[in-house]
Amino acid sequence: MKLRTWIKKTKAGRLFWRVVIGIVGGTVTALGAIALVGPGPGILIVLAGLGILATEFAWAARVMVRTRTYAQKAADKAGIPRWIQFALIAGAAVLSIVIILYLYSSGRF
Q: Which residues of 22-48 are buried (b: 16+ CB within 10 A; e: fewer)?
A: eeebeebbebbeebeeeebbbbbbbbb
What range does the domain containing 53 cover? 3-78
Question: Cα(4)–Cα(1) distance, rounded to whole angstroms?
Answer: 9
Number of domains in the chain: 1
pLDDT, residue 23, reads 94
- Is 8 a domain residue? yes
Band of residue 1 on the pLDDT scale cut at 50, 70, 90: low
Task: Give the predicted TM-score (pTM) of the model.
Answer: 0.61
3-state secondary structure of 40: coil
- Is 91 a domain residue? no
Residue 109 has pLDDT above 70, yes or no: no
- Is 93 a domain residue? no
Q: Which tens digit of pLDDT belongs to each residue from 16-28?
A: 989 999 999 999 9
Residue 96 has pLDDT above 60, yes or no: yes
Q: Which tens digit of pLDDT belongs to each residue from 75-89?
A: 788 787 878 878 887
Cβ atoms < 10 Å from Cβ of 57: 16
For the packed helices 42-54 and 11-37, what is the interaxial angle rounded to 10 degrees?
Answer: 170
Q: Which tens digit of pLDDT belongs to each residue from 30-78?
A: 988 888 877 777 878 888 888 899 988 898 888 888 888 887 787 788 7
- Is 83 a domain residue? no
Cα 36 to chain centroid, rounded:
12
- Is 98 a domain residue? no
